[in-house]
Amino acid sequence: MSRRLHFSLFRHNPRDPSSVPHQDHFQLDEQPGMTLFIALNQIRDTQAPDLNFDFVCRAGVCGSCAMIINGRPGLACRTQTRDLPDRIALYPLPVFELIGDLSVNTGKWMRDLAERLETWAHLAGMPDLDRMEEAMDPDLAEAIYELDRCIECGCCVAACGTARMRPDFMGAVGLNKIARFRLDPRDARTDGDYYEVVGDDSGVFGCMSLLACHDLCPKSLPLQTQIAYLRRNMVKAGVV
């Protein structure tokens, strides 16, 4: 027999002066293979047509549906209701600007971060478009690809104690991006250059090593290893 699921959903429209943050409650019969994405769509279709939440890919690739699920950041499209108790509380991710209900503007935060960190390859000179692309060692290419799997969902930022206390903290997502370009042989920046970007309390030295980012990353990225490795090398760069 299917369970009766009880949902408690955060509701608030920050653009409506009369809107007050509160919880709305809904019930659904659980179906085989039901995800939170499916459940939220059913609630919106049948009970709350004005419910705001985000989704694009429905496959854990875009990161749009990240939210707080029973106190932990996660992706609605990858979370099966069978893995949760029958009472489910959903909140928007903290830190990010609230659009409405469960929807937050992670894109604005990520774009500002990318511009601040200059997360693109800094070439030594103008590329020769007629030249054959240089081969890369397969192991190095795989290591870069591993860090490139970040979907910028914001779960690591929402889980980060430092990000809750320091609005300027770049979080694991920013440090992961720096680690990725530091590996890239096409990037001409030195560790001294990277130190100027992340070598303070808003960067790698602000991390309190609670490592909730590592534990809750939906893509299981090696954030713990990358942050430790980056910190060690930034210490060397700072001493020099």
Per residue in 161-184, pLDDT (tens digit) is 999 999 999 999 999 999 999 999
Residue type, 110: M
Taking CB atoms within 8 Å and a gap of at least 24, the contacts of 178-182 are: 178/117, 178/119, 178/230, 179/147, 179/226, 179/227, 179/229, 179/230, 180/144, 180/147, 180/148, 181/119, 181/120, 181/121, 181/122, 182/230, 182/233
Choosing among 1.10.1060.10, 1.25.10.10, 4.10.80.40, 1.10.3720.10, the CATH entry for 118-125+134-239 is 1.10.1060.10
| Residue pointed to by tokens 């920046």 | 189
Give tens-digit pLDDT for 131-170. Answer: 888 889 999 999 999 999 999 999 999 999 999 999 999 9
pLDDT at 224: 93
Inform me whether the pLDDT recorded for 240 exceeds 60. Answer: no
Task: Indicate the domain borders of the chain.
Answer: 4-104, 118-125+134-239
Residue type, 14: P
Residue type, 56: V
* Residue range 195-219: mean pLDDT, rounded: 95
Mean pLDDT, rounded, of the chain: 94
| Residue pointed to by tokens 């047509």 | 49
Inform me whether the pLDDT recorded for 192 exceeds 90. Answer: yes
CA 37 to each of CA 80, 90, 138, 177: distance values in angstroms, whole numbers, following the listed order: 9, 12, 37, 28
Whole-model pTM? Answer: 0.92
**What one-character DSSP code corresponds to residue 24?**
E
pLDDT at 208: 93
pLDDT at 239: 64
Inform me whether the pLDDT recorded for 1 exceeds 80. Answer: no
Record the tokens describing residue 35, joined without a space: 């995800």
Homologous superfamily, domain 4-104: Beta-grasp domain (3.10.20.30)
Greater confidence (224 vs 239) lies with: 224
Give tens-digit pLDDT for 46-66. Answer: 999 999 999 999 899 999 999
CA 222 to each of CA 102, 174, 206, 211: distance values in angstroms, whole numbers, following the listed order: 28, 14, 19, 11
Q: How many residues does the chain have?
A: 240
Give tens-digit pLDDT for 4-39. Answer: 999 999 999 999 999 999 999 999 999 999 999 999
Helix (H) or strand (E) holding 23: strand 22-29
Give the span between the Cα atoms of 32 and 145, in whole angstroms: 34
